[in-house]
Copies of this chain bind each other. A is one copy, B any other.
């Protein structure tokens, strides 16, 4: 195994982590499972000796962590984005359990996609606007009596399942091939696809353009937004468009802009 671990294209993104001990414990949990790319969005206390101490033999993961100031920076070049979510949200999002999450992650990496998995704040998880940047949400099932996992424990479970899925894939299995054929209508997460998937940045530009156009044609009233943009964002993220599809949509919006002005 090279220094990049088993999953060089899979990054764990910790958003506004308060306790550096959790960063260290998460780094150890990641490296135990062969995941080594760590992004920290606005960490509360970092660099930190406590983080290095708790990482034990994963100090390299902590030291190589990429610190960024907002979630978009952490996601810009990613084609598959999954956010951890404990709560039921008002607008349901495509929801995975950890095992199916791991299968998508492993299939994503196999097809050349960069994958990000977002973990929110210790106190209150990810915010809605962060969750709305995700193609999928993943929820770790718990008992009813106590549902709040420690952050690093959640990272452990997700990374454990990723390694499991990867080990599983090395076992040929007819059933699996069947299951994947029905996955998202695109074969094994894009393996047979002709065009590269859009990145998170492509998608943000599309959403900005869409929002401006909706206002321009007076279909969307920013003073009374309701859930319109959230629903559109959810829908287009579910599509996981390729780059040509995003270009078609942008061209469509530009054609509207030209006719309206």
Q: How far apart are the CA atoms of A255 and B192 in the complex, in Å? A: 36
Q: Is A63 part of the binding interface, using a Cβ–Cβ cutoff of 8 Å?
A: no
Closest-CB distance, A91 to chain B (whole angstroms): 7
Range, interface on chain A: 35 or more
Q: Assess the B143–A34 pair: CB atoms within 8 A.
A: yes
Q: Is A116 part of the binding interface, using a Cβ–Cβ cutoff of 8 Å?
A: no
If A143-B32, A252-B219 touch, does A231 touch B259 (CB 8 Å cutoff)?
no
Closest-CB distance, A195 to chain B (whole angstroms): 9
Residues of B within 8 A of A182 (CB): 181-183
If A58-B146, A91-B194, A231-B244 touch, does A163 touch B185 (CB 8 Å cutoff)?
no
8 smallest beta-carbon distances between A and B, as pairs: A34-B143, A219-B255, A94-B185, A31-B146, A217-B255, A95-B187, A153-B156, A94-B186
Instruction: Give residues in A with beta carbon < 8 Å to B.
Output: 1, 5-6, 25, 28-29, 31-36, 56-58, 91-92, 94-96, 98-100, 104, 135-136, 140-150, 152-153, 156-157, 160, 163-164, 167, 179-187, 192-194, 214, 217-219, 228, 231-232, 235-241, 244-245, 248, 251-252, 255-256, 258-260
